[in-house]
Copies of this chain bind each other. A is one copy, B any other.
Amino acid sequence: MEHITIKDIAKALNLSFSTVSRALRGHPDVNQETKKKILALAEQLNYEKNPLALSLRKQKTNAIGVIIPEIANPFFSRIISGIQHVAYEAGYNVMICLSDESIEREISNLRHLLRYRVDGLLAAVSVETSTFPHFELALAKQVPMVFIDRVWDHPQVSKVLVDDFEGAFTITQHLIEMGYGQIAHIAGPEKLLVTQKRLEGFRAAILAHDLPLPPDYIQFGGFTEDFGAEALQKLLSLPSPPDAVFCVNDRTATGALLHCKTQQVQVPRQLGIAGFTDMPVSKLIEPGLTTMAQPAFEMGEVATQMMLRYLAAERYEPEVLILKTQLIIRESTRRSII
Contact = CB atoms under 8 A, between A and B. Distances in A.
Interface of A: 2-3, 48-53, 55-56, 61, 70-72, 74, 77-78, 80-81, 84, 88, 93-96, 98, 111-112, 115-117, 141, 254, 258, 280-281, 284-286
A116 B51 CA distance: 6
Contacts of A95: 93, 95
Contact of A52 (B3, B117, B281): B117
Given A52-B117, A254-B284, A98 B111 contact: no
A78 B74 CA distance: 11
A3 B111 CA distance: 13
Contact of A56 (B56, B285, B286): B56
Nearest to A74: B72
Nearest to A109: B88
A61 B285 CA distance: 45
Contacts of A81: 70-72, 98
A306 to B, nearest CB: 21
A119 to B, nearest CB: 13
Nearest to A108: B88
B52 A61 contact: yes
Nearest to A49: B115
Contacts of A49: 115
B51 A53 contact: no
Contacts of A52: 52, 55-56, 61, 116-117
A69 to B, nearest CB: 11
Contacts of A3: 117
Nearest to A2: B141
Nearest to A55: B52
Contacts of A117: 3, 50, 52
Contacts of A72: 74, 77-78, 81
Nearest to A73: B77
B115 A93 contact: no
Nearest to A258: B284
A281 B71 CA distance: 16
Contacts of A254: 284
Nearest to A261: B286
Contacts of A61: 52
Given A52-B117, A72-B78, A258-B284, 16 more contacts: A2-B141, A48-B115, A50-B115, A51-B115, A52-B55, A52-B116, A71-B77, A72-B74, A81-B98, A93-B95, A93-B112, A93-B116, A94-B96, A281-B281, A284-B284, A284-B285
Contacts of A111: 48
12 contacts: A3-B117, A50-B115, A51-B115, A51-B116, A71-B71, A72-B74, A72-B78, A93-B112, A96-B96, A280-B281, A285-B285, A286-B286
A285 B51 CA distance: 47
A281 B286 CA distance: 11
Contacts of A70: 81
Contacts of A88: 98
A112 B87 CA distance: 14
The 8 closest A-B pairs by CB, nearest first: A286-B286, A52-B56, A284-B285, A48-B115, A71-B77, A72-B77, A77-B77, A281-B281
